[in-house]
A and B are shown apart, each in its own frame.
Chain A
Amino acid sequence: MKARSAPYLFIAPTMILLLAFGVLPILIALFVSFTDMNLAGLGNWSVIEFIGLDNYTKLFADPDFWQALTNTGIFAIIGVPCVVIISLVIALLLNRSGNWFFKALRTFYFVPAITAIVAISLVWGYLYNTQFGLFNYILSLVGLPPVQWLSDPVMVKVSLVLVAVWRGTGLNVIIFLAALQGVPKEYLEAASLDGASEFRKAVSVVIPLLRFAIFFVTITTIIAWLQFFDEPFVLTKGGPLGESTSVSLFLYQTGFSASQFGYASAGSVILFAIIAAITLIQLRTRRSDDDY
């Protein structure tokens, strides 16, 4: 390996894979979104027709798509603040002590984040079960009526958000804990010398220093919730009557179950545009308050 070509050879395999499965698909999605490609077109490209913006006009007139968009918005509005606040609080509390007990507790909080969603869904489906599930039994112990966790149009959203928050918190706790290691001890000592309480130190010293981590976690959490897929896919298949269908699930269903590749691609392009727009807005606001 020659020194001059060495860097290219080192990055080539990864770059080729990233281009093939990261960048190229976006371009293909854009192209396919202007066609009527379906399962027949997959085998025989000559039957694919260019139909311009038809998919997009159809999509905006599709009540199912709007329902999926609305659901995704609701999921994100409830889910994002829950995940960010809960994981920040847990990380701050876990960071209080470095003894074996606190270290062992970390694992408990991380585990939901690293286990397979299909396994998790089975377990939660069982807990939510209306005939022999544990949750309704617990409710009955305190005299409450049983809840239709996954078949009531309102409760199904709450139930899915609960699973996703439970699952989404752990990774962010890790990120916050890592960031907390970077908080200079001197600042905290100085605050103690000034007589600041623990709570005051957390609010006035630690949280401002964690600004980048909070920003990072918020952005990635919003993106994750806009891509919300696994929980409704495995637990409800989007039901009842589309009440828990997210945009991603809608795309999967139109794309793979109904094989309307062109139509689903148009939806993908819109989802991508929404995510890109939100990310840009956040980066912009971040830049404007960068001076601390």
Chain B
Amino acid sequence: MTITDLRETLAPSLDVPLSRAPRSARRSTARATTVIIGIILGIGALITAFPFIWMITSSVKPRSESVAYPPAVLPESPTFEYFVQLFQELDFGRYLVNTIAIVAISMIGLILMAMAGYGFAKFSFRGREPLFFLVLITMMIPVQVTMIPTYLILNGAKLTNTLIGIALPTLVSGFSVFLFRQFMVTIPTELIEAARIDGASELRIFWRIILPMSRPILAVQVVLTFIAGWNSFLWPLILANDERLYTLSVGVSLLNQQIATNPSLQMAAATLMVVPILIVFVIFQRFVVQGFALSGLK
């Protein structure tokens, strides 16, 4: 129903007064409501963000201040020594490199999932429906159920204690394939046909036409993949016995075992993990909301 249809249906009732207040008064009440909601949301946002504010300010507090009682939010004499300590004494440089490697490997998975999404969206082939159903089913399976068998599989394939082994179990996800498919269905088939007639190979069509056209959904997925790879915790924890393969999250969780000893060092490590994600997210967040809207989730 369009707005004009609606107006027409409503037309008979339009000659009765619509509201008790004059228009300008109504508008300013609406304005005031928006301001009040803004203030409420602002307070809520501050409360939500507070643990992070606390984390960042505590990361630069000297140890004496971080265990002082009563606690203070702002540091009196800020210091960066704990960040230095993370890299110089605790090998966080290596963890950082490993984490970046995991993120890089997971971007390969992203390409694979885009390919699969394209396959399901734009080809009709025998077994398409049951295979896609299988993809959807995998979304429902909790990781703790598959944890032990997956470990057995990776152990059997001699992939424990390797970065590849750590990245493999989460390399592809049913949900991402689903999102890619939903988006790629909307790409006009004529375009693909035209490229075929011009003699372009299937891979070339994918790489040169489909991927560039899928930029909005690709942007979302890059962000989500980056976040997931950066935060990945369970598999590095289970598969890496060798300290040289630890990721940032495993390194940070080790600091947890020394709880109450040096909160400043812990907060510095937490800050190191959180701030890159914050930056990535602030830059790309509008794509994420758009992407969810594009996926037809209404």
- The interface-forming segment of A56-64, A73-81, A185-193 is A185-193
Q: Does B97 contact A (CB under 8 A)?
A: no
Interface string of A104-118 (1 = CB under 8 A from B): 011111111011111
Q: Does B194 contact A (CB under 8 A)?
A: no
Docked-complex contact A14 and B115, CB < 8 angstroms = yes
How far is A123 from B271 in the complex, measured between Cα atoms in Å?
A: 10
Q: Does A245 contact B (CB under 8 A)?
A: no
Chain B hits for A184, CB < 8 A: 1
Chain B hits for A124, CB < 8 A: 51
Chain A hits for B274, CB < 8 A: 115-116, 119
Docked-complex contact B292 and A174, CB < 8 angstroms = yes
Q: Does B213 contact A (CB under 8 A)?
A: no
Docked-complex contact A93 and B37, CB < 8 angstroms = yes
Contact of A275 among B140, B177, B253, B267 (CB under 8 A): B140
Chain A hits for B201, CB < 8 A: 1
Contact of A123 among B19, B52, B137, B298 (CB under 8 A): B52
How far is A109 from B40 in the complex, measured between Cα atoms in Å?
A: 13
Q: Does B34 contact A (CB under 8 A)?
A: yes
Chain B hits for A265, CB < 8 A: 148-149
Contact of B252 among A90, A122, A133, A247 (CB under 8 A): A122
Q: Does A66 contact B (CB under 8 A)?
A: no
How far is A125 from B68 in the complex, measured between Cα atoms in Å?
A: 16
Docked-complex contact B149 and A32, CB < 8 angstroms = yes
Q: Does A129 contact B (CB under 8 A)?
A: yes
Interface residues of B (CB under 8 A from A): 1-3, 6, 10, 14, 18-19, 33-34, 37-38, 40-42, 44-46, 48-49, 51-52, 54-55, 58, 66-71, 109, 112-113, 115-116, 118-120, 123, 125, 128, 131, 134-135, 137-138, 140-153, 155, 168-169, 171-172, 174, 177, 196, 201-203, 206, 227, 230-231, 233, 238, 248-249, 252-253, 255-256, 259-260, 263, 266-267, 269-271, 273-274, 277-278, 281-282, 285-286, 288-290, 292-293, 295, 297-298
Closest 6 CB pairs of A and B: A10-B119, A7-B123, A25-B149, A108-B45, A22-B138, A28-B149
List 15 A-B pairs, Cβ < 8 Å.
A10-B116, A10-B206, A11-B131, A13-B116, A14-B177, A25-B145, A107-B285, A112-B48, A114-B277, A116-B252, A119-B249, A122-B252, A131-B67, A193-B10, A227-B143
